[in-house]
Structure 1
Amino acid sequence: MQFYAICPKGVESLLADELTSYGAKEIKEHPTHVTFEGELAVAYRACLHSRLANRIYLCLLDEQFDSVEELYKKVNRIEWSWHFDINQTFAVTCVARKNKHIRHSGFGGQKVKDAIVDYYQERYEQRPSVDKESPDYRVHALINGTQLKIGIDLCGHGLNQRGYRADGGRAPIKENLAAALLLRAGWPELAREGYDFHDPMCGSGTLLIEAAMMASDMAPGLLNHQFDFQHWKQHDDEVWREILARAKVQAEKGRQNLSNHFYGSDSFRKSLPVAKENCEASGLAEFISIEEQDIRNPSQKLISEKGLLLSNPPYAERLGEEDEVTELYRDFGDYIKARCMGWKVAFITTDDRFAKAVGIRSHKQYKFKNGALDCKLYLFDVNKDNYYTPFDPTTFNPNWENNLSDGANMLKNRIRKNMQRLKSYLKQNNVHCYRLYDADLPEYSAAIDVYEDEAHIQEYMPPKEVPEKVSNKRLNEIVRVTAGILELPEAEVHLKQRKRQKGKQQYTKQSQEDDFKIVEENGFKFQVNLKQYLDTGLFLDHRKTRKMIYQEADGKKFLNLFAYTGSVSVYAALGGAKTTTVDMSNTYLNWAKKNFSLNSIAPYGHNFIQADCVQWLEEQEAKPNYDLIFLDPPTFSNSKRMEQTFDVQRDQESLIDLTMGLLKPEGKLYFSNNFKKFSLEPKLKERYIIHEITGKTLPPDFKNSRNHHRCWLVQHKI
C-alpha cells in the first residue's frame, strides 16, 4: 500500500528516519511531505507514534496530469465506494503549487469534489453530502506542478494536536516542530544517558512536555487516539487494537523507568498556569517542575550537573524591536554561562544577530520553518573555550572595517565621497539633517539620512530575483558601514523598509516605540521620530522650499494643505505670516502644534484644521483669502476618513483649481509632489502661469536622489 505524510518544511529527513523505524519501505522525501510504502500496520503506527508528521494519508492516486479535464477523469476513476459509503459525509482539501491549469487551491479542491460526487451519481444516482466542519472522511489533493496525489486522511485531526494543550499561550510552537528540535538537539540519546532538561522561557510548556514524552517513550497519539481510519471501510480493527495495546504498555514501562528531571520557567506570569494545566493533561506533570523566573534575575544558581537546555526565545516580529530583543539574548547568554556549565544548549530564532548576541560559538545549525518564519536551530556546547564577547550595538565598533566584503568596501568609498562633496555646503549652511546616500550603488538600494547624531536608513524593496538571504546581508552591511563612517553605535542607526504603501499600510507605525528627537534646521527646532513611522516627520528634500516660504511670509496669510507635521507652517509663522494648517490626521496636527511650541510661536493668529483637504477645499466659498499657499499632496490615498480615493495624477486639475480659488490675485501657490511619473495637465497652463522650480527648491544633497519632490510655482494670470 502507498501512503504519504505531511510535515513542516525542514523536517522531511527526520520524518523519513522515523517512518523507517515503523517498517516503512520505498521512502522518498519531497518538500513538506514524505511518500512511503508498507502494510496497513505501518500507517497505523505512524498515526499513533509519529512525533513529526502533521497527517498521514492513504495514497489512492499518484500520477501526472496535463489539464483540468484529465485531473477530473483520474479522480473520477478511483473506486471511492471501496473507502466510504454514499450516506457518509466527506470534505476535500487541496494544496496546489506551480500548475498552469490549477492556479488556486480552492479551484483544485472544487474539481476533485465534483469528480467524487459524480462518481456516486453515475453509479448510484445519489450524491454524498459534503460536510466541511465535521466530515466522516477527508480527501486530500496535492498538486505540485503536473504531479497529482490524491489521498484519504487516516488521522482526521492534525497529529501535532496531541490532546494536552488546551491553551497555546503566547506564540506557541507547534508540537511536531518542538519534537523535531528535540531530535536535532540529540535529546533521545541524551535522555538515555541521564541528562536533565530545561526550558527557561517555556511559555505553555510544549518543549517540556514533548521532551518528557520522548524520554518516557510515550506515543504522542495516546492522548488523542480517535482516528478517521477507525470508520474507514478497509479498517483492520484487530491490527489496530494490537498496536494500541503495545503502545500503552510501552508508555507505562517508560513512565516507570523515567529518571530525568524537567525544569521549566518563564517571566510571564500568565503563562505558568497554562503550562501547568498542559502538563497535567499530558499525564507527566509529576516529572515536570515549573516556576516563575526571569533569566535576568534567576532564582537558582545550578540546575543539575548535566542537561540539555532547549528554548524558543522571542523574535523581533516588528521593526524597532531588534535592540530590545538583542539585549534579551545577551542576558540569555549570561544565564547559560552562569547556570549551565558543561550542558548542551539549543535554541531556535530568526536572526543570526540574536544568536551571536549570546556569546557562545555554535557548532551546528539547522534550518526550520516556524509557521511562515524562516528560523535556525543553533546547537552549543557550554564551555569556556566556546565563549566570546558578543558585539554590542550600543557602543561604537572601532573595528567595523575588518573583513568587509568587496561590495561593502565600494559602499564605504561611495559614502565617504558623498560626505566630501557635501562637506562645505553643510558647514556653510549649518545643516545638521541631510541625505547622505540614495541607492548610488544598485546592489545597496537604500536611502541614508543623517539626523544630527543619529542615522535613518530606508531600504527600498529589492527585486524579486534577489534572494532574501542576499538582500539581508547587504542590508546588514549598509547598517554597519553607515555606523562606522559616522562613528555611531549601530543602535543609533534606525532601519526601515520603504515600499509602495497601499491601503491600510499608508502612514502606519513601523514600531510601537514613542521615541521623539528634537533636531535643528536653520536655527528652528523640529520634533522627529526615527523609529516609529516610515517618514520621520521632517521631509529633508524641502529644506530650501521651507526657507523660500520663510523669506516671503512677512505680513502674509499662509495656507498649508496636506500639512503633515507642519514644518512649513513653522517657517511661515516665524517669517511673520498668519497660518492655517490643514491635515486629515489628528496625530500629525498635534505634532505640528508641538513644533510650534518648540519654536515659542504663540497660538494666536494660527489655525489648525483636521479635515480631508480635498473635502475642505470643496466646502470653501472660493474666497481669495491667502497670499501664500503650499500644496504638497500624497501620490495616492484611500484613507478610511476620505469619501473617495485620491490620485495626484488623476485629480491634479480639480485640486489646483480649488486651491487657486483661495489664492489672492498677486499670491503664490507652491505645488509639490513626489510622484516620479507625474505629468502636469496642459489645461492648467492655459488658466494659470506655471513654472517648474524643482531646481531652485532641491538642496545639493538631493540633486542625485532617486526619490525627491518636484515643485511648481503657480500664479493667476492678471
Structure 2
Amino acid sequence: MLNYFAACPRGLEGLLREELEAAGAENVKETVAGVSFSGTMETGIRTCLETRFATRVLLALGTFYAGDDINFYNGAYSLHYEDYFDNQATIAVDFNGKSDFIRNTQYGAVRIKDAICDRFSRLTGHRPSVDREAPDIRINAHLDKKSNVTVSIDLSGESLHRRDYRTGAGAAPLKENLAQAIISRSGYVTGNVVDPMCGSGTLLIEAAMKAADIAPGLLRRRYGFSGLKNFDASLLARLKANARERAEAGKKRLKAANIRFYGFDSDPAVIARARENIQKAGLDELIQVEVSDIHSLRNPFPESEPGIIVCNPPYGERLGNFAELLELYAALGNRIRSEFPGWQAGIISSSSDLLSCLRLRADRTYRLFNGALACELRTFRIKKDDAPGAESENSVAAESTDRTVPAVSEAAQDSQSEMKAIIAEDFANRLRKNLKKFRRWADREGLEAYRIYDADLPEYAAAIDLYGGYALVQEYQAPKSVPEKTAHQRMLNLLAAVVQVLEIPGENVILKVRERKKGDSQYEKLDETRRTLLVREYGISFIVNLWDYLDTGLFLDHRLVRRMVGEMSRDRDVLNVFAYTGSASVYAAVNGARSVTTVDMSRTYLSWARDNMKANGIKNPRNVFVQADCLKWLKTCPDRFDLIFADPPTFSNSRRMAESFDVQRDHVALLRDLVRLLRPEGVIVFSNNRRNFQLDAAEVSGLGLDIEDVSLRTLPEDFSRNRKIHCCFVLRRKSARFEDAERNS
C-alpha cells in the first residue's frame, strides 16, 4: 500500500476528500490545503487522471526528523529513490519550509538534491542530472513546524488544474479546479447551466465535464508518473480508454436529455476564445456562447426546467472602479430575478459588499480562495413568484461575514432573512432635487464642472461634483461615533443612488475618500491613469484629472475668485503665486493681461498650467512659468506687478521648502513680501481655504493696504451651504506715500 498526498487550494479540501472516498481511496484524511490517502500505484495514476479538485498528487517516499543539517542530509540520503527511478532520469527538487538551519527554500532543495545524487553515485557510480524546467522526475520535500521532512515524488507533472483545453483566457482566468468547486458548492449535478459573464468559458466547460462524467485529465499529454522506472503505459492506456467511453456515453446522455450550457459575455474577442476552448474540449455540441452584455441577459431555456446560474463576475480590487462594479452587480441581480425564477445560482466574489448589491438572499456562503485572494461563494434560490423589483426575500442583501466555517449556520440564515434592504431613498430624493436645480443654473452660467451635493444629509457624508459626463464622489471620513460597517453600507447605498439618479455608467463614477490632510498631502498621487478631461467654465477650458490625485486640478469653490482675477487683469502685469495648475493665470491671460508670471514648486503642476494655457490657444511670449519655493522666490524676485493673486496652502512642510508654512501664523509675513513686489496702484487678491481663518487686520493695514473682504461675494451658488469653504480679500494700496516710504527705507 502506497501513501499519497493530494494538494489543493484552501477551501477545496472537503470536496477533494469526498471525491477520493467515492473513488475508493483508503485512509482518506483531510488536512490544510490537501488530503492524504492510501492505495496502489493504479490509485495514484487514476487520481491524476480523474481528480477535479487537486493540483498535485504526491507519492510519499518517507518522512524523517531533521533537527540539524546532519540529520537532514542523512534522512534524505536514506530514502530508496532507486525503487522508482534510475540514474538516467533527470530530476528537479521543490522544497518548502524553514527551520533554524534551513533559512531559505533553495538551500533545502540543494541539500535534498545532493543526498539523492550521492546515493545514486554510491549505488551505481553515476548520478542523475538536474533539469529544472522539464525533469523526468520532480521531487517534492516539505518541512513542517516540528522539523519533520516528508519527501515525495510528484506524479502530476504540470499542475492538475490545467486540463489542456485552454487556447486562450480573459484578463482574469479562473483556475479549473476552483471552477469545479464553484459548480459543486452551488449544488449542480446535472441540468441546464447559464453563465452570464462566461469569459473564456471555464465554468461552462467544467460544468459540462462534470455532468458528462468526463475525466479532467483526458486531454493531458504527459504526467509526472510517466518518468517512473516501472511505469506501466498499458495501465494508463486502459484508464484513458475507459474514461473516453464514459465521456462519449455522458455526452450522448446529455444530448438525449436536451441539457445545454449557455454563456454570455460583452467582449467579442473573449467569446471567440471561449469558442476555441469549447471546441478543443470537444464540447461544442453542448455549449453555446454569444456576445451580450449583462443588461441584455435573457434566459436561453425559457421552456425548460429551471437550471443553475454560475458566475465569476469582476471583483474590483481597486476602489476607483467600485461604482462601475456596483452597477454591474445590481444589474446582474435584477436580470437574474427577472429572467430566472425557480433557478439556483452560485456567484463568487472577493467583495461581500458587491455580492450584497445583487439584492438576493443567500442560502449558503462558502469561503474559497482564488489564488491568494479570499473570496465568498454565495448560493441562491430564485423564488418563482418574485416580480422584478418586488419586495421579497430575494431583495434582501446577504450579510457580510467573516466566517471560517464552510457554510452559514441555520441561525445566521434566519438572521439574514430578517434583514431589510437599505435603499437610500432619502439621499436619492435630495440628489434629484439638487440635480434639477444646479443643472439649470450651470447651463445658464456655462459651467461643465460644479458641485451638486455636499453632505446635505449628515448620514450620507460625501461631496459629489459633476465634470461633464463624470461624477466625482468624495467620501468624508466618518466620525468615530459611527460604526465602520454602518458608514460603509451607507456609502454603498449612496453610490447605487448616484448611478441611478444621474443616469451615467458606473465606470464614470469615481470614488475618493477625503481625510484631514496636512501640508502637500492633498496633492499626493493616488494612481497613475494619466486620464484627463477637458471641461468648460465661463467659456474657458481646463484640463482635469479625476483619477490620479485627491484634487482634480480645478478648485470649484474658487470659480468666482479666478473670474474676478481675470476681470481685474486687462493690460496688467499679473503674478500668480502658489499657482497649482494655473487656472487663475489662464483667466488673466484670456482677459488681456499684459503678462502673467506663474510660480509653483511642483514641476508637474507647472506643466499642467502650461497645458491649460495651450488648451485656450494662449501664446503670449511674456507669460513666464517659474518652478521655485514660492516663499524664497518672493524674497528675491526683482520684478514688480500690478496684480498679485496668492492662494497659499493652509499648511505646508514640504521637504523642498526651507521652512514650514502656516497660513494663519505666516500670512502677514507673506503679504509683506507681496507688497514689496506691488506697484503703486497695484492690487493683491489673497485667498485660502483654512476654516476660521482670521486676517490680522491691524498688521495688514500697517502694511499700507486697504482691506475688502469678498469671501461671501466669491462664494459660488453650488457652495452656498458651506460659507467657510474659503476666504478671500482684495487688498489695495492706501496711497502713493507708502510707496515713497518703502523706497526711502
Which residue in 2 is equivalent to 1:19?
A: 20
Correspondences of 1:668-687 after superposition (within 5 Å): none
1:307, distance to aligned residue in structure 2 (A): 1.6
Q: Quick one: structure 1 residues 512 and 16, their matched pair in 2 at CA, closer, same or farther if it must change by over 3 Å?
A: farther
| SS of match in other structure, 1:187 | coil
Give the total of aligned pairs.
606
CA distance in 1, matches of 2:301, 2:246: 36
Q: Residue by residue, what CA displacement relative to the aligned partner does 1:210-247 show, whole Å, maximum 9, x if unpaired?
A: 11111111111111152111221354556544433433
* Residue 140 (structure 2) pairs with residue 124 (structure 1): no
| SS of match in other structure, 1:160 | coil
1:161/1:175 contact within 8 Å kept: yes
Q: Quick one: structure 1 residues 291 and 335, their matched pair in 2 at CA, closer, same or farther if it must change by over 3 Å?
A: same
CA distance in 1, matches of 2:213, 2:127: 45
* Unpaired segments ≥5 residues, structure 1: 402-431, 438-443, 462-469, 637-646, 654-659, 669-696, 704-717
% identical aligned pairs: 32
| SS of match in other structure, 2:347 | strand
CA distance in 1, matches of 2:68, 2:580: 54
Which residue in 2 is equivalent to 1:346?
A: 346
Q: Quick one: structure 1 residues 317 and 76, their matched pair in 2 at CA, closer, same or farther if it must change by over 3 Å?
A: same
Which residue in 2 is equivalent to 1:277?
A: 276
Instruction: Indicate the RMSD between aligned Cα atoms, in angstroms.
Output: 5.9
Q: Residue by residue, what CA displacement relative to the aligned partner does 1:37-69 show, whole Å, maximum 9, x if unpaired?
A: 333222212101001111111233556655667
1:48/1:220 contact within 8 Å kept: yes
1:6/1:54 contact within 8 Å kept: yes
Which residue in 2 is equivalent to 1:201?
A: 197
Q: Quick one: structure 1 residues 198 and 452, their matched pair in 2 at CA, closer, same or farther if it must change by over 3 Å?
A: closer
* Residue 581 (structure 2) pairs with residue 565 (structure 1): yes
Which residue in 1 is equivalent to 2:184?
A: 183
CA distance in 1, matches of 2:513, 2:11: 28
1:112, distance to aligned residue in structure 2 (A): 1.6
1:100, distance to aligned residue in structure 2 (A): 7.0
Which residue in 2 is equivalent to 1:589?
A: 609
Which residue in 2 is equivalent to 1:580?
A: 597
1:378, distance to aligned residue in structure 2 (A): 2.2
Q: Which amino acid aligns with 1:87?
A: Q
| SS of match in other structure, 2:279 | helix
| SS of match in other structure, 2:219 | helix
Q: Which amino acid aligns with 2:274?
A: A
Q: Which amino acid aligns with 1:649?
A: R
2:275/2:289 contact within 8 Å kept: yes
Which residue in 2 is equivalent to 1:397?
A: 424
Which residue in 2 is equivalent to 1:49?
A: 50
CA distance in 2, matches of 1:648, 1:221: 60
Correspondences of 1:297-696 after superposition (within 5 Å): 297=296, 302=302, 304-385=304-385, 389=389, 397-398=424-425, 456-457=473-474, 475-477=488-490, 495-496=511-512, 507=525, 509=527, 530-531=546-547, 533-538=549-554, 558=575, 560=577, 564-567=580-583, 569=585, 578-581=595-598, 583-584=603-604, 588-589=608-609, 592-593=612-613, 604=620, 607=623, 609=625, 613=627, 624-625=638-639, 648-649=654-655, 652=658, 666=676
Higher alpha-carbon deviation: 367-376 or 623-632? 623-632
Which residue in 2 is equivalent to 1:680?
A: none
| SS of match in other structure, 1:333 | helix
Q: Quick one: structure 1 residues 12 and 666, their matched pair in 2 at CA, closer, same or farther if it must change by over 3 Å?
A: same
CA distance in 2, matches of 1:211, 1:40: 29
Q: Which amino acid aligns with 1:4?
A: F
1:564/1:589 contact within 8 Å kept: yes
Q: Quick one: structure 1 residues 301 and 133, their matched pair in 2 at CA, closer, same or farther if it must change by over 3 Å?
A: closer
CA distance in 2, matches of 1:114, 1:536: 57
CA distance in 1, matches of 2:116, 2:315: 50
CA distance in 2, matches of 1:150, 1:172: 32
1:558/1:579 contact within 8 Å kept: yes
2:11/2:369 contact within 8 Å kept: yes
Which residue in 2 is equivalent to 1:136?
A: 136
| SS of match in other structure, 1:253 | helix
* Residue 109 (structure 2) pairs with residue 109 (structure 1): no
Which residue in 2 is equivalent to 1:161?
A: 162
Higher alpha-carbon deviation: 325-334 or 5-14? 325-334
| SS of match in other structure, 2:130 | coil
TM-score calculated relative to the size of structure 2: 0.64
Q: Which amino acid aligns with 1:186?
A: G
* Residue 288 (structure 2) pairs with residue 289 (structure 1): yes
Q: Which amino acid aligns with 2:54?
A: A
1:321, distance to aligned residue in structure 2 (A): 2.5
* Residue 200 (structure 2) pairs with residue 210 (structure 1): no
1:154, distance to aligned residue in structure 2 (A): 0.5
1:558/1:577 contact within 8 Å kept: no
Q: Quick one: structure 1 residues 534 and 40, their matched pair in 2 at CA, closer, same or farther if it must change by over 3 Å?
A: farther
1:651, distance to aligned residue in structure 2 (A): 7.5
Q: Which amino acid aligns with 2:23?
A: Y
Which residue in 2 is equivalent to 1:256?
A: 252
1:12/1:29 contact within 8 Å kept: yes
TM-score calculated relative to the size of structure 1: 0.66
Q: Which amino acid aligns with 2:598?
A: T
CA distance in 1, matches of 2:75, 2:486: 47
Q: Which amino acid aligns with 2:655?
A: Q
| SS of match in other structure, 1:117 | helix
CA distance in 1, matches of 2:304, 2:114: 61
2:323/2:509 contact within 8 Å kept: no
Which residue in 2 is equivalent to 1:710?
A: none
| SS of match in other structure, 1:53 | coil
CA distance in 1, matches of 2:382, 2:184: 19
1:449/1:456 contact within 8 Å kept: yes
1:331, distance to aligned residue in structure 2 (A): 3.2
CA distance in 1, matches of 2:71, 2:452: 62
1:435/1:448 contact within 8 Å kept: yes
Q: Residue by residue, what CA displacement relative to the aligned partner does 1:361-394 show, whole Å, maximum 9, x if unpaired?
A: 22222222223433222222222456674699xx
1:435/1:702 contact within 8 Å kept: no
Higher alpha-carbon deviation: 177-186 or 314-323? 314-323
Q: Quick one: structure 1 residues 479 and 209, their matched pair in 2 at CA, closer, same or farther if it must change by over 3 Å?
A: closer
| SS of match in other structure, 1:223 | coil
Q: Residue by residue, what CA displacement relative to the aligned partner does 1:104-140 show, whole Å, maximum 9, x if unpaired?
A: xxx3134222331244246617654332221212223
| SS of match in other structure, 2:54 | coil
1:6, distance to aligned residue in structure 2 (A): 2.1
1:616, distance to aligned residue in structure 2 (A): 14
Q: Which amino acid aligns with 1:38?
A: G
Q: Quick one: structure 1 residues 123 and 266, their matched pair in 2 at CA, closer, same or farther if it must change by over 3 Å?
A: closer
| SS of match in other structure, 2:165 | coil
Q: Quick one: structure 1 residues 506 and 71, their matched pair in 2 at CA, closer, same or farther if it must change by over 3 Å?
A: farther
Q: Quick one: structure 1 residues 169 and 528, their matched pair in 2 at CA, closer, same or farther if it must change by over 3 Å?
A: closer
1:173, distance to aligned residue in structure 2 (A): 1.5
Q: Which amino acid aligns with 2:79?
A: I
Q: Quick one: structure 1 residues 219 and 82, their matched pair in 2 at CA, closer, same or farther if it must change by over 3 Å?
A: same
Q: Quick one: structure 1 residues 24 and 122, their matched pair in 2 at CA, closer, same or farther if it must change by over 3 Å?
A: closer
* Residue 31 (structure 2) pairs with residue 36 (structure 1): no
1:35, distance to aligned residue in structure 2 (A): 2.6
1:319, distance to aligned residue in structure 2 (A): 3.4
2:16/2:35 contact within 8 Å kept: yes
CA distance in 1, matches of 2:69, 2:484: 38
Which residue in 2 is equivalent to 1:90?
A: 91
